[in-house]
Amino acid sequence: MNAGNRGCGFRRMGRRDALKTIIASAAAPAFVPARVLGAEAPSRRVALGCIGMGGQGTQNNLNSFLNEGDAQVVAVCDVFDARRDAAVQMVNKRYGTAGCRGYTDFREILARDDVDAVVISTPDHWHVPMSLMALEAGKDVFCEKPTLSIAEGHALIDAVKKRNAVFQIGLEDRSVIYYHKMIEWIRNGAIGDVRKIDVTLPEGYVHKKEEPAPVPRGLDYNLWVGPAPFRPYTPSRTVQKVWRMIHDYANGSLVDWGSHLVDTAQLAADAPDVCPVEVEGTGDIPPDSLTDVPVAYDVRYRYSNGVEMRVMAGKYSAAKSASIRFEGEKGWIGNEGWRGRLQASDTKILQTRYTPETSKHWPMPPSEHRNFLDCFKSRKPTTYTAETMHLLHTTLHLGVIAIRLGRKLRWDPKAEQFPNDDAANALRSRPPAREEWKKE
């Protein structure tokens, strides 16, 4: 790997020297971080380093933060040179400066003293390991969902508490009017006590096996694989639509798309322990395929208060399949399709409005990006905390584990284990992280 500058603000150096070079640099930081200016500084900007410049990282997260006047993106990182370079140009064009720097190794961003917080938009297997390293480096964290295992989520909670850090999941549902209104009606008794919840999610994709191929120029494949088991590079492996269906890096549609609608479902279930206490399900894990996670599934959960939830895979796009329906003792509400039109057993439900004084549900928060910046300044909890992330994804991981074992499981939310079930408990975590990614 070449060391030194690459022009136009891009930077790439040997990994052994990267951290020492940045930390020891005598030059003043290019941007004064917000924490230096103090909590009351009216014009301070939060200095951000964005890691992962794919579609979600660029079109959603980077774009959103670039539109916030009290944030400034000072660094971007991606293992694909082309993505990194394009992101640098995008940031510098937006600000009319050449101040944003590009990196291949995210650790170079973590070592910068002038970065307040990082925005992590990587494949799933990097979410928690990278967040833990960022927290250790003293950064606040905005990270995409989901976790890769139950154990990861618990470790993340501990790290956030230890550092007294601000952590936000890159999830928008509590700031989406459709899902906020459904919970508000439920919390205010519009359909009576919730008895049953049906969630339909987009079915996963099946990808054929591929023969190993040379790693293309402009990709640091070792860093892309990171803590996951090392597999030879294949042409489609690093494509989002593909890696989401590979167990080494993700858990498929149930956990990915489930992160959205199951969050709303758990708010409606309103169980004391949040997570369910029983789960059983069936699913289709394709044989002899690059895809090795459930692509079709039918999972049933029961919460401690008796609420039952069924999560199924549909055969259509998100526009049709990402649907939710709540059945209560007095009626039902729901919608069909992602952000689809609201429906109810009685149209009067949809016409019901509450004032801030009478509503039993919290006001709809701002977008996840705006909320993160506000909480960075106030040090208050975000809309989606590390604990929220863990409880949400624990429920989804329970479904995957039940499918893999092919039997009904009981879950103890307080102990965070399957009582007297060694086989299931072994699946709460993944094998130890691969350490070779840290080497040259």
pLDDT given for residue 110 in this prediction = 98
So where are the chain's domains?
15-173, 176-361+384-431
pLDDT digits 0-9 by tens, 225-243: 999 999 999 999 999 999 9
Task: Please check the confidence at residue 297 and state whether its pLDDT lies above 50.
Answer: yes
pLDDT for position 321: 83
Which residues fall within 8 angstroms of residue 435, CB to CB, at 6 or more apart? none
Query: Span 195-214, mean pLDDT?
Result: 96
Distances (CA, A) of 431 to 148, 183, 196, 248: 11, 38, 36, 10
Output the 3-class SS for the chain: CCCCECCCCEECCCHHHHHHHHHHCCCCCCCCCHHHHCCCCCCCCEEEEEECCCHHHHHHHHHHHHCCCCEEEEEEECCEHHHHHHHHHHHHHHHCCCCCEEECCHHHHHCCCCCCEEEECCCHHHHHHHHHHHHHCCCEEEECCCCCCHHHHHHHHHHHHHHCCCEEECCCHHHCHHHHHHHHHHHCCCCCCEEEEEEEEECCCCCCCCCCCCCCCCECHHHHHCCCCCCCCCCCCCCHHHHCCCCCCCCCHHHHCHHHHHHHHHHHHCCCCCCCCEEEEEEECCCCCCCCCCCEEEEEEECCCCCEEEEEEECCCHHHHCEEEEEECCEEEEECCCCCCEEECCHHHHHCCCCCCCCCCCCCCCCHHHHHHHHHHHCCCCCCCHHHHHHHHHHHHHHHHHHHHCCCEECECCCCECCCCHHHHHCCCCCCCCCHHHCC
Query: Which class does domain 176-361+384-431 fall in?
Result: alpha beta
Question: What pLDDT, on the 0 to 100 scale, is given for residue 318?
Answer: 67
Mean pLDDT over residues 293-319, rounded?
92
Asked whether the predicted pLDDT for residue 47 surpasses 70, the reply is: yes
pLDDT over 70 at 208, yes or no: yes
Instruction: Categorize the per-residue pLDDT at 1 as very low, low, confident or very high, splitting at 50, 70 and 90.
Output: very low
Q: Is the pLDDT of residue 21 over 90?
A: no
Fold of 15-173: Rossmann fold (3.40.50)
Minimum mean pLDDT range among 9-23, 317-331, 335-349: 9-23
Percent of the chain's residues with pLDDT above 70 = 89
Q: What are the structure tokens assigned to 435, written together?
A: 């350490």
Tens digits of per-residue pLDDT, 62-80?
Answer: 999 999 999 999 999 999 9
Residue 11 pLDDT > 70: no
Q: State the chain's mean pLDDT as an integer.
A: 91
Residue 434, number of CB atoms within 10 A of its CB: 15
Average pLDDT, integer, range 85-93: 98
